[in-house]
Amino acid sequence: MFDVNLASGESWRESNAYAPGEQVVTAETPLGRLGLTVCYDIRFPALYEELGRRRCDAIAIPAAFTVPTGKAHWHLLQRARAVEASAWVIAAAQAGRHADGRETYGHSLVVDPWGEVVLDLADEAGLGFATIDPERTAQVRAQLPSLANKREIPRSQGR
């Protein structure tokens, strides 16, 4: 849960109103296997590694990042998760100032499995379209087979 005290003075406690999920969720869609995540999940790379192992073709990441965290981390994290999972990332993001005083960063994105941003709606509300090419996923997975090459790291004993 997004429980933070930001340098900007903003303080958020999602745990006061929400409970975290307890399992990794995927769904079969016309696009292929879709991994389902939300907002703060982006900060937990093990989840995206698991979605990669489950051979997700795309991962949905709807979010409402604050402006300070969005400016610092949004693009970086979206691109990293696409690369880690060798999957398309589709990230719908709230933008603008809200009635409760929040200001969200926006920048709804589509990122390809190589980490290239193919759509960025900037800080405007709107509707965007991107072509998601399954051949691109296959090319990236063939060129850089990190999912196939991943090895488990033994846990240190006695430390």
Residue 7 resides in a domain:
no
Q: Which domain holds residue 113?
A: 40-123+130-147
Q: pTM (2 decimals)?
A: 0.86
Residue 49 resides in a domain:
yes
Residue 81 resides in a domain:
yes
**pLDDT for 12:** 72
**pLDDT for 157:** 64
| Rounded CA separation 95/72 (Å) | 16
Residue 96 resides in a domain:
yes
- pLDDT: which is higher, 85 or 125: 85
Residue 28 resides in a domain:
no
pLDDT of residue 135 exceeding 90: yes
Residue 3 resides in a domain:
no
| Rounded CA separation 118/135 (Å) | 15
HSE-CB for 20 with a 13 A CA cutoff: 11
Q: DSSP character for 63?
A: B
Residue 99 resides in a domain:
yes
Task: Look at the chain and report how many structural domains it folds into.
Answer: 1
Q: What is the CATH number of the domain that holds 110?
A: 3.60.110.10
Residues 58-106: tens digit of each pLDDT: 999 999 998 999 999 999 999 999 999 999 999 999 999 988 888 999 9
Residue 19 resides in a domain:
no
